[in-house]
Amino acid sequence: MPDQGKQVVQYGDVTQRVGVEVISARGVDVPKLIKMLVANAAAEFASTYYYYTILRMHLAGHEDYKEICEDARLEDRAHWELIVPRIYELGGELPNDLKEFHDLAGCAAAKLPNPPTAVNILTLLLESERCAIRSWIAICDITFGKDPRTYDMASRILNEEIEHEAWFIELLAHERDGKSIPSGHFRRGEPGHAPYSKNAAFYNP
> For the chain, what are the domain ranges?
26-177
Does residue 203 register a pLDDT over 70?
no
Query: What is the Cα–Cα distance from 132 to 124, expressed in whole angstroms?
Result: 12
Q: What is the model's pLDDT at position 175?
A: 97
Answer yes or no: are the C-beta atoms of 62 and 120 closer than 8 Å.
no
Does residue 158 register a pLDDT over 80?
yes
When pLDDT is averaged across residues 10-20 and rounded to a whole number, the result is 89
Q: What is the model's pLDDT at position 196?
A: 74
Q: Is the pTM of this model over 0.85?
A: yes
User: What's the pLDDT band for 191 if we cut at 50, 70, 90?
Assistant: low
What is the percent of the chain with per-residue pLDDT over 70, rounded to a whole number?
Answer: 90
CATH number of 26-177: 1.10.150.80, 1.20.1050.10, 1.20.1260.10, 3.20.20.140?
A: 1.20.1260.10
Q: What is the model's pLDDT at position 202?
A: 39
Does residue 40 register a pLDDT over 70?
yes
Q: What is the model's pLDDT at position 48?
A: 83
Q: In this predicted model, what pLDDT tens digit does every residue of 49-69 receive, in sequence order?
A: 888 899 999 999 999 999 999
Least confident of 46-60, 92-106, 168-182: 46-60
Least confident of 1-15, 31-45, 144-158, 166-180: 1-15
Query: What is the Cα–Cα distance from 59 to 93, expressed in whole angstroms?
Result: 35
When pLDDT is averaged across residues 172-201 and rounded to a whole number, the result is 79
Long-range contacts, 114-118 (Cβ 8 Å, 24+): 116/58, 118/59, 118/62, 118/65, 118/175
Q: What is the model's pLDDT at position 6?
A: 64
Q: What is the DSSP letter of 195?
A: T
Q: In this predicted model, what pLDDT tens digit does every residue of 128-143 receive, in sequence order?
A: 999 999 999 999 999 9
